[in-house]
Amino acid sequence: MDAHGFAVDEGEGRSVSLRGTTVTFKVESHAAGGASLTEWEALPGFDTGLHVHERLEETWYVLDGELEFRVGDETIHATAGSTVFVPPQVPHAFANRSGQSAKFVMTMSPPGHDRYFDELARLLAVDGPPDPGAIADLRKRYDTRQIETLRAGKA
């Protein structure tokens, strides 16, 4: 954990690409004791697929555009200014079903899950489909049980 506070300005922070969807790390897990924070620009067609975490809770705040969330049995259409919270053990997914990019921030608690996106970006950087065994191992290490397929590119 970082012993000092800090600021990360707009346009700053280390970024990775999930086949065009950008994840920018604003508060990384090595700097935080309570939660990590990422900023996203999700391309149209991005869809995490339904998944569940045993220990992780997540909160999203939509800055621009529109996202569709599935939280348990509920479907939520979130636009700029909306906040969506998912506690542990609740199946959920989020997707950009619009024709425009969506920008949002996501917090993850406890911190650590930000590293999942780092590793996922490396696995998705290959041409063609990623190695299913490597993806399964990644999910196991980061408290993610995938129920439906992730779609990182356009639908």
Strands 102-109 and 14-18: unpaired
- Rounded to whole angstroms, the Cα distance separating 44 from 20 reads 10
Global pTM? 0.91
pLDDT tens for each residue of 113-147: 999 999 999 999 999 999 999 999 999 999 999 99
| Domains of the chain from N-terminus onward | 15-143 (2.60.120.10)
State yes or no: pLDDT of 9 exceeds 80: yes
Q: Does residue 155 have a pLDDT over 50? A: no
80 within 8 A of 43, measured Cβ to Cβ = no
Residue 16's DSSP bridge partners are: 23
Which positions ≥6 away from 71 have C-beta within 8 Å?
Answer: 84, 86, 90, 92
Q: What percent of the chain has pLDDT over 90?
A: 88
pLDDT at 4: 82
Return the SS3 of 15.
Answer: strand
Using alpha carbons, select from 37, 43, 45, 29 the residue that is nearest to residue 12: 37
The average confidence (pLDDT) of the chain is 93
How do residues 59-95 score in pLDDT, each as one tens digit? Answer: 999 999 999 999 999 999 999 999 999 999 999 999 9
In sequence order, the 6+-apart residues with CB closer than 8 A to the CB of 26 are: 8, 13, 37, 38, 39, 105
